[in-house]
Amino acid sequence: MPEPTPAVLVLGDTRGLLHHGCELVLEGLLQLIQEAGATKVDVVPGLQGKTDRSDVRHAELVVLNGEGMLHHDRPVVEETLALAEDRRRRGLRTKLVNFSWFHNRQSSTQRLVAFEGLAPRDGSTAATLREAGHSFFLMTDVAAHQTLRMVHPPEQRCGIVVGDSTQPSVARALRKLAQHRCWSLAPVLIPPGERSGRKARKIARRLQASRLVGSWILSDRYRGHRDGDAKTVDHLQKLGKAEGVVTGRFHQVCMALALGTPFLAVGSNTAKIEALCGDVGLDPTRRMVDPEEIANVHSVPPLSDQEQRCLDDWRRGLPSQWDRLRDWIVS
């Protein structure tokens, strides 16, 4: 008889950030775990400051969604490693999935041995793990999988869509680009709407204040929440219908790739976008633009024949990867 599937606790629910990429990741991750037959799935919002919770420390299996948080030996890196080590000492299982790992000390990388399973989301991270002697399951970010499962690209495309960036100066430059070229602005951030979380309430208060005294009080991030799409499916359809996307967001690049939309990307806070391009087989020098050159962008290059072949191969491989990941994630 097959072994019973354990109860699972998912740590690192980032949907409270009001971000379409995070929505896709968590919805996809929960769907994946449920397809794997988990008897019970609990979710803990956020990551930093949550590792001392009793349910996190004592869950039978913790699946930790790392995304882009684990870099430059930030405090959350130590917190994550300490959690895995504590749980391992007590005979409990922890898997780190959907994560990038950049600019962390070698000693931190070695400590990843405390995880029962590692599933990095890019080849650069995989190379770091391989060099340290770790085994792993190389996956594509769940946002790409979920995009492909939710939306089918239309046959007709029209116009350029401009996203945003985690870096304020890049976000401002992209906003100016969209205004100057009369292109559609589509930040990856989500308006607070009727959401009840602390961050949503804070954003809602600031947006309400801006309507009274003027938008000058809004930072670039708040402007993104003001101007973003309320529904993730609408955001995906906007990117899918575009002739091209210009963005500084890793997850918008994931979406564009899954939708087959040509893109130009501005580097983020790590080399995760460049690594993703390499995984697909695209030349980063053709698909990346320096922050100083954003104002000079006049178009998005269409996919070359070679790029199209690489992208088609990558997209065709996603469903079988999903099946293997489903079999691995709670095993």
Q: What are the backbone dihedrals phi and psi of residue 71, each rounded to the nearest 5 degrees, phi first? A: -150, 155
State residue 1's pLDDT score.
43
What is this structure's pTM?
A: 0.94
Same domain (yes/no): 220, 309:
yes
Work out the mean pLDDT of the chain and round it to a whole number: 93
State residue 217's pLDDT score.
83
Contact 9, 62 (CB under 8 A): yes
State residue 220's pLDDT score.
79
User: What is the C-alpha separation between 97 and 263, in angstroms, rounded?
Assistant: 26
Same domain (yes/no): 152, 25:
no
Per residue in 20-69, pLDDT tens?
A: 999 999 999 999 999 999 989 999 988 888 888 999 999 999 999 999 99
Domain membership flag for residue 1 = no
Same domain (yes/no): 70, 177:
no
The DSSP line for 218-286 is --HHHHHHHHS-SSHHHHHHHHHH-SEEEES-HHHHHHHHHHT--EEEE--SSTHHHHHHHHHT--HHH
Number of structural domains found in the chain: 2
Same domain (yes/no): 164, 293:
yes
Same domain (yes/no): 14, 72:
yes
Same domain (yes/no): 297, 168:
yes
* 255: CATH: 3.40.50
The DSSP line for 149-184 is HH----S---SEEE---SSHHHHHHHHHHHHHHTPE
pLDDT cut 90: percent of the chain above it: 80
Domain membership flag for residue 181 = yes
Name 289's Cβ contacts closer than 8 Å, sequence gap at least 6: 246, 264, 265, 266, 297
Can you read off the two tokens belonging to residue 73? 């030996």
Per residue in 63-115, pLDDT tens?
A: 999 999 999 999 999 999 999 999 999 999 999 999 999 999 999 999 999 99
Domain membership flag for residue 2 = no
Bridge partners for 265 per DSSP? 247, 288
Domain membership flag for residue 156 = yes
| Residue range 276-282: mean pLDDT, rounded | 97
Same domain (yes/no): 219, 84:
no
Same domain (yes/no): 66, 211:
no
Same domain (yes/no): 69, 129:
yes
Angle at 249 between CA 121 and CA 306, to 5 degrees: 70
Same domain (yes/no): 98, 183:
no
Same domain (yes/no): 325, 302:
no
Domain membership flag for residue 79 = yes
Domain membership flag for residue 184 = yes
pLDDT at 3 over 70: no
pLDDT band at 4 (very low <50, low <70, confident <90, very high): low
pLDDT at 123 over 60: yes
Per residue in 154-189, pLDDT tens?
A: 888 999 999 999 999 999 999 999 999 999 999 999
Domain membership flag for residue 138 = yes
Same domain (yes/no): 222, 242:
yes
Which range among 125-139, 191-205, 235-249 shows the weakest confidence by mean pLDDT? 191-205
For residue 258, the enclosing domain spans 147-316
State residue 316's pLDDT score.
96
Can you read off the two tokens belonging to residue 242? 């575009």
Domain membership flag for residue 259 = yes
